[in-house]
Amino acid sequence: MTTVLILYASSLGNTKRMADAVAEGARSVEHTMVRLQTVDQTAIDDVWACDALVLGSPVRQGAADARLRHFLENDCERLMLSGRLANKVGAVFTVGAHPHGRYGDGAEIAQLGMLRALAAGGMTIVSGPCEWRNATMRGPYWGPHACLRIGEDGREVLQDGSIEAGQLHGYRVAQVARSFKHQPIARPRRIVAWPRMAELFSGVRAHLRSVR
């Protein structure tokens, strides 16, 4: 069984709707168990135990929500420093106001801020698939981003295509996590260097010899 842990923060419910969509997509992959939690409910053991970690954040003041940033700096760093995030799969998604609305976007900054922390832990990142770039919903390269619009009842709704993009993201994450589960990434016994590249950096050859 592959475990996909989806952690999100949501005050108005929109990021939760995207998180539900990501969860639905992940669940559609066979032998996948999905855990969907708010980031402040999460126990560090759940993160340690998962095969894939997906973070969903509202965009706040042009960056990721402080609840996600707190989790990354306080909880994930401990796992990162002890090497326990490496070999896991990581991905992100965001929700924000309409880019031409009152707020100043920042989806890419929010996504990259979270991804940078996951990459620092050695995780394998699943980016955004191309399919949604032609759809109504557009996201940065890094993951889906749902903009809001005002619905007929005057309430905020996710723009068309967002749910589908979230589902597709969840599906891809679960697929990648599943294939890694069966063929875990191992450190190669021999690092094969491109010789001229190695020559450019003094000490690289010696280093390579030492790790063989």
Burial category of 204 from C-beta neighbours within 10 Å (exposed 0-12, middle 13-18, buried 19 and up) = middle
Which residue, 83 or 104, is less far from ligand FMN as judged by CB?
A: 104
Q: Is 60 in the site for ligand FMN (CB under 6 A)?
A: yes
Which residue, 58 or 90, is less far from ligand FMN as judged by CB?
A: 58
CB of 176 to ligand FMN, least distance (A): 26
Q: Please give the biggest Cα pair distance in the chain.
A: 67
Give the whole-angstrom CA distance, residue 192 versus residue 170: 34
Q: Is 10 in the site for ligand FMN (CB under 6 A)?
A: yes
Q: 65 vs 27, 70, 113, 152, CA distance in Å?
A: 26, 9, 10, 28
- Alpha carbon dihedral 140, 141, 142, 147, in 10-degree steps, equals 20
From candidates 68, 97, 126, 177, binder to ligand FMN by CB under 6 A: 97
Q: What is the CA radius of gyration of the chain?
A: 19
Which residue, 17 or 88, is less far from ligand FMN as judged by CB?
A: 17
Give the whole-angstrom CA distance, residue 93 versus residue 168: 12
Q: 144 vs 18, 59, 134, CA distance in Å?
A: 9, 12, 13
From candidates 2, 5, 7, 15, binder to ligand FMN by CB under 6 A: 15
Q: Is 143 in the site for ligand FMN (CB under 6 A)?
A: no
Applying CB under 6 A, the span of 41-49, 70-78, 96-104, 184-192 interacting with ligand FMN comes to 96-104
User: Binders of ligand FMN: how many residues, by CB under 6 A?
Assistant: 20
Give the whole-angstrom CA distance, residue 9 versus residue 55: 9
Binding letters toward ligand FMN, positions 103-122, x by CB under 6 A: xxxx----------------
Which residue, 18 or 123, is less far from ligand FMN as judged by CB?
A: 18
Applying CB under 6 A, the span of 23-31, 56-64, 78-86, 173-181 interacting with ligand FMN comes to 56-64
How many CA atoms lie less than 13 Å away from 37 in the CB half-sphere?
A: 17
Q: Is 137 in the site for ligand FMN (CB under 6 A)?
A: no
**Chain residues in the site for ligand FMN (CB under 6 A):** 10-16, 58-62, 95-97, 103-106, 148
